[in-house]
Amino acid sequence: MFFTPGLVILTLKILVGTVTLLLIAAVIAISRGNRKLHGQINRVFFWLTMLTVIGFEVVIRLVNPELTDGFTPEARQMLRIHLCFSIPATVLLPAMLYTGSRHMRRIHVPLAVVFSILWAGTAITGIGFLPHTFE
């Protein structure tokens, strides 16, 4: 099968790294006062993140449900920890996009703080904690 545990994890690491760079670019844009660029980058971040989540769900649940059978107990635990950050972050994303696009700063900024903490956990666990190879 084309979708191996190693390929899935490598792809996840690349995508998490890519969207994290976009998020950093969005923060730089807003810190420089460029709200329009901040919003544009965040829309790209939103859609890439959602496509990644949906894509992985399709692969893991529909295309190859046995995929995670190749994970060691340690890898499964690291994936669980990663999901403890990434799922709440993903749930917050639509609210972030909505409040930001409607200029609801009083709600958007506190959500952004919570989201940033969750995304830091997502990036650290997704890139650093998940195994790099599978036997």
Proportion of the chain above pLDDT 70, given as a percent: 96
pLDDT of 68 reads 77
Q: Which residues contact 16 (CB under 8 A, 6 or more apart)?
A: 52, 122, 123, 126, 127
Give 31's pLDDT tier (boundaries 50, 70, 90).
Answer: very high
Average pLDDT, the chain: 90
Provide the pLDDT for residue 29.
Answer: 98
Q: Is the pLDDT of residue 87 over 70?
A: yes
pLDDT at res. 108: 97
* Whether the Cβ atoms of residue 121 and residue 84 lie closer than 8 Å to each other: yes
Helix 73-101 to helix 105-123 angle, to the nearest 10 degrees?
A: 160
